[in-house]
Each structure stands twice: as C-alpha cells, then as structure tokens.
Amino acid sequence: MSDSEPVVVVGAGPVGLVTALLLARHGVPAVVLEAAARRDVSGSRAICFQRDVLDVLDRVGCAEPMIERGVTWTTGRTYHRGDELFAVTFTGAGQSAVPPWINISQAEVEARLRDLAAAEPLVDVRYGHRVSGVRQDEEGVEARTEGGGTVRGTHLVGADGGHGAVRELLGIGFPGSTFTDRFLICDIRADLPFPSERRFYFDPEWNPGRQVLVHQCPDRTWRIDWQVPADLDLDAERGSGALDARIRRITGDVPYEIVWATVYRFHERCAAAFASGRAFLAGDAAHLYAPFGARGLNSGVQDAENLAWKLAFVRRGWAPEGLLRSYDTERRAAAEENLRVTTRTMEFLVPRTARQRARRAEALEAARTHPDPRTIIDSGRLAEPFWYLDSPLTTPAGPLEDFPRGPGAARPPVPGVLCPDGPCVVDGEPTRLRRLFGTRFVVLTQGGHAERLPTDVPHRVHALDAIDAEGSLRTALRSGPGTVHVVRPDGHLAAVLPSYDPAAAVAALHRACGRA
C-alpha cells in the first residue's frame, strides 16, 4: 500500500475525527468527508466521558483541556419519591490521574477535535461532501460525493451517524427497535444547590410516574432529562408556560436561562456487521443505545481506537489484512453487550408490558428495605470498557476466577481487559503507564528482563521493577516475580504469562496481530 494513500473517513463528528487523529499518530493520512457545510454545535448532547475513554482522547491531545474544563464526578445517586435508595462511587485499578467521569458538552469536545484536525497535516477535513456511493476493489475503496468528485483510499470508515449513508450503501442491516416514550432534555444555566453528582429520580413529585436525571456541566449549566408523555409538544409547552413550570419544580425561585431544549425518542439498534470488505462502521453508524449509562459516544471512541491501530498495522505491513476481521469480532461483541445492558435498563425505566410494570413497582417498593438495592433497581449501569476475553487476538490464561463486574469494580489484570494505570518513571521522566500505549505493543516484565524481543512486531519492553518505584503498578497488575504482561496498542492485555519466556511472548505478539 502506498503511504500517501489515505484512509477515507465519512463523518466529521467526534468518532470520525478521533479515528483520523489516531491514524495520524501512526503516520497514516486520512481524508474526512462531512456531508454538512458545518456541524451543528447547539446543545450539550453527549456529556459523560468515562476515564478509559479520556485516556484515548489523551492520545490525540484532547483530554487535558477537557479534564480542566469539565465537571468531575465520582458518585451516582438514585432516588425514589425523594428518598435515596443507593449511591455508587467509582474507583479504578491502579492510581490513575484521570478522574472516573467528567461532564462536558459533546459540542465543546468536537470543537477541540476540529482544531486538532485542522493543525494536523495528515488529516484533511472536507465539509459539504455528502457521500452518495461507495465502490471497492482488491486495492482500495472509492467514495463518490455529491458535487465533490471521487475520493480514493486504502480503506473506508463510516462514522456518519445513525442516519448516515455508508451503512445503507454497504447494504448492511440495522435491526433493533425504537421506544415510543419521549424524553425532554433541557440545558439550563443557573446557580443550583446540587453537588456535582449524577442524580437519578424515580417518580419524583415534580414528574410523577416518570423519571428525571440531573447532571452538572461547566459554566453553571445543568443538564436535565425528563421522561415525558409520547404526545408532548415542546413548542406548545414553551408558549403555555408549562416548560417554565416544569423547570421551576426543580430550580424553585432561582433565576435560570434555557440554553438548549429538545425532545427525542431512544433507539436500540446494532448493525448486522461492522465491516464489509475494506469498509467499516463505527460509532452511531454501527450502534445506537439509550443514553442511560453513557454508552453511546464512549463506545464510539473505543470503536475508533480499536480500528485505528489495526488499520495502521496492516498499512505498515506489521500485520496481515486478516487482523481487520477482529474489529468486527471485538466491537460487535462490545455493542451487543451494551445493547443487552441498555435494553434491560429501558425495560425497567419504560416498562412496555404489564409484567415489566409490576416488576418495576415491586422493586421500587422493596428497595427501601433491601440490603443491596442496586441488585434490583436499574437506573442505568454506567459504561465500562468491554473485556476481549474471547477474542482471537487474546492468548488464553486458562481457567479464570469469577471476578466482579459490578459498577466501579476493579478490572482484574487478565488477558482481554484494559491494563490498569499508575505512575511510573521511564527514561528518567515521570509519566503514567497508559501514556506508553497507543502506537506499539508494550511488554511489561520483572526481574531485570528489559531486552527487546526478537520479533517483527513493533514493541517496547519495560521492566516493572525499574519503572515502578512506588510498587503500585505491580500491585494493580498482581504481578509475580516472573509475570509478563503483553499490552496491545489500545491498552488491552493481549497476554499474561506466568514467567519470562521470549518465545511465548513473541507468540502472544504474533497472535495479537492476527497471525496464526
């Protein structure tokens, strides 16, 4: 493949821009085709960014200003009719400097990504280029645009959203369902006495029989989500004063300003395939979830990282074309898991059958005296990265313990999960472990083994006892005297070996690159 040929990315939203910027970090050019003359920047849209996703955004230079600007939170509380049922506090394995959650507007993050793309010579963003056709051959992909001619690249990534053109042009189905209940979102600017927490209310007195979700955002902005009747007319609510009355039930007499308001329905859909030849789907083009749990944009960014390093390794000749098949295997499994989680949540939040309604009513009443209400109340299980335990790229570790997977549970350091983070010193400079990931494999050893392994897969070996002065990484990894951890460019553990064996480490690297 020619180094000058780009990857064609369709869609200049957050997922498309992150894909292009990650490719550029690997030295791979990208042309981003956006149908709109300019992107709509109104409203908060997606607001919750999870710690592991912030690590991905850190690799493209976006995370630090986001963290500085965003509202950090570590606790989610769930209420029923004014009574707190339970609270969840989020922690993580290792000693990460990145907060577990921040709230910041998707529009603001997208603006930062656009600035980074504009400053990156390997990224060419073209607005007003609506894709109307896709043609593939053995050497590449052509995207035909309305009024913009044809753009050719080695591969194509469709990140053009749930109503985008690429999935339809590829003939890929999008099965699933749409919930008939509607939800009202308002961003209001006010000085409210609420803490910076996620607060979910079942059946509050100011929205009887339905739900309300409240989040704090930067600039004194509060994001409020109401479940509303299916026939709610937002314009009529504005004109009649009903919208003001609805907001006043939460704000009281505090002065407020409406920044943005919209009404929408939720979709639960997953593409029948995430790949067709040299073309791939990512983000909302591949999957749509109800937002209770913050799994949409967070999962889309993880799609981007999973695909970007694989495209780069294939383009550079470090891996066979077959490596790209694992994108569909890994990310569709992640999407299906997210779909199962969010579907269960919506069945509890918006029960469709008499049985579901009865179950919800019984659970809400029982929660007041239940020893662990989290096990019977579903207010949205918040996003966490998928574990690639069964991926063909993962070297099995034999029988595994039954590790906890509840909210805030530490991720066990077994093959397939994300490697934990923590402070370390590399080449005399203080850093943290996850900043070593992104463009190559990392092999973590102990006992002074830090020589480069004889393989054609780009990697670097680090001796934990040399870089981990505090010992926190060895604790988080549960690393024994001879343990070897092989980490993929996206931070997932490809293998955990019981002892330092160069041949076994090379075999794990080859397997993680899609080689037999």
> Would you state the pLDDT for residue 30?
98
Q: What angle do CA 56, 111, 215 make, to 5 degrees?
A: 75
Q: What is the 3-state secondary structure (H, E, C) of 141-166?
A: EEEEECCCEEEEECCEEECCCCCCCH
Dihedral over Cα of 125, 127, 58, 495: its sign: negative
Residue 39, domain member (yes or no):
yes
Find out whether 472 and 423 touch, Cβ atoms under 8 Å: yes
The stretch 488-499 carries a mean pLDDT of 95
The answer on pLDDT for 432 being more than 90 is yes
Same domain, 310 and 442: no
> Would you state the pLDDT for residue 454?
84
Question: Which of 128-132, 380-384, 494-498 is predicted with the least confidence, judged by mean pLDDT?
Answer: 380-384
> Would you state the pLDDT for residue 397?
81
What is the spatial distance between Cα 304 and Cα 271, in angstroms, rounded to a whole number?
A: 16
Same domain, 334 and 474: no
What is the spatial distance between Cα 470 and Cα 459, in angstroms, rounded to a whole number?
A: 24
Residue 385, domain member (yes or no):
no
Same domain, 320 and 454: no
The stretch 115-126 carries a mean pLDDT of 98
Same domain, 312 and 455: no
Same domain, 46 and 157: yes
Percent of the chain exceeding pLDDT 70 equals: 96
Question: Which of 162-171, 341-350, 396-405 is predicted with the least confidence, judged by mean pLDDT?
Answer: 396-405
Residue 252, domain member (yes or no):
no
Tens of pLDDT, residue by residue over 339-359, are: 999 999 989 998 889 999 999
Residue 445, domain member (yes or no):
yes
> Would you state the pLDDT for residue 216?
95
The answer on pLDDT for 202 being more than 50 is yes
The answer on pLDDT for 499 being more than 50 is yes
The answer on pLDDT for 407 being more than 70 is no
Residue 294, domain member (yes or no):
yes
Dihedral over Cα of 22, 25, 27, 29: its sign: positive
Tens of pLDDT, residue by residue over 253-284, are: 999 999 999 998 889 999 999 999 999 999 99
Amino acid of residue 259 = V
> Would you state the pLDDT for residue 4?
86
Same domain, 41 and 154: yes
> Would you state the pLDDT for residue 2?
64
Same domain, 285 and 137: yes
**Count: domains in the chain:** 2
Same domain, 19 and 110: yes
Same domain, 42 and 156: yes
The answer on pLDDT for 94 being more than 70 is no
Find out whether 302 and 53 touch, Cβ atoms under 8 Å: yes
Range among 181-195, 196-210, 303-317 with highest mean pLDDT value: 303-317
What is the CATH number for 492?
3.40.30.120
Contacts of 17 (CB under 8 A, 6+ apart): 32, 110, 113, 114, 116, 117, 125
Structure tokens at 130: 């609506």
The stretch 274-298 carries a mean pLDDT of 94
Q: Average pLDDT, whole number, for the chain?
A: 92
> Would you state the pLDDT for residue 209?
87
The answer on pLDDT for 395 being more than 90 is yes
> Would you state the pLDDT for residue 408?
43
Residue 229: band (very low, low, confident or very high) from pLDDT cuts 50, 70, 90: confident
Residue 83, domain member (yes or no):
no
What is the CATH number for 289?
3.50.50.60
Same domain, 286 and 168: yes
The stretch 444-472 carries a mean pLDDT of 89
What is the spatial distance between Cα 512 and Cα 488, in angstroms, rounded to a whole number?
A: 7
> Would you state the pLDDT for residue 451?
81
Sheet containing 441-445: give its strands across.
459-463, 441-445, 484-487, 493-497
Residue 94, domain member (yes or no):
no
CA dihedral (307, 309, 311, 314) in degrees, to 10, reads: -140
Same domain, 429 and 289: no
Residue 263, domain member (yes or no):
no
Among candidate residues 341, 358, 383, the one where a domain is terminated: 341
> Would you state the pLDDT for residue 405?
44
DSSP strand pairing (149-153 vs 141-145): antiparallel
Tens of pLDDT, residue by residue over 25-47, are: 999 999 999 999 988 777 778 99
What is the spatial distance between Cα 427 and Cα 176, in angstroms, rounded to a whole number?
A: 51
Same domain, 469 and 323: no
Scan for tokens 């994108």, then name that residue: 327
Percent of the chain exceeding pLDDT 90 equals: 78
The answer on pLDDT for 193 being more than 50 is yes
What is the spatial distance between Cα 208 and Cα 202, in angstroms, rounded to a whole number?
A: 8
Among candidate residues 316, 341, 366, the one where a domain is terminated: 341
Find out whether 421 and 94 touch, Cβ atoms under 8 Å: yes
Among candidate residues 341, 367, 390, the one where a domain is terminated: 341
Q: 500 is in which domain, residue-wise?
A: 423-512
The answer on pLDDT for 158 being more than 50 is yes
The stretch 5-15 carries a mean pLDDT of 97
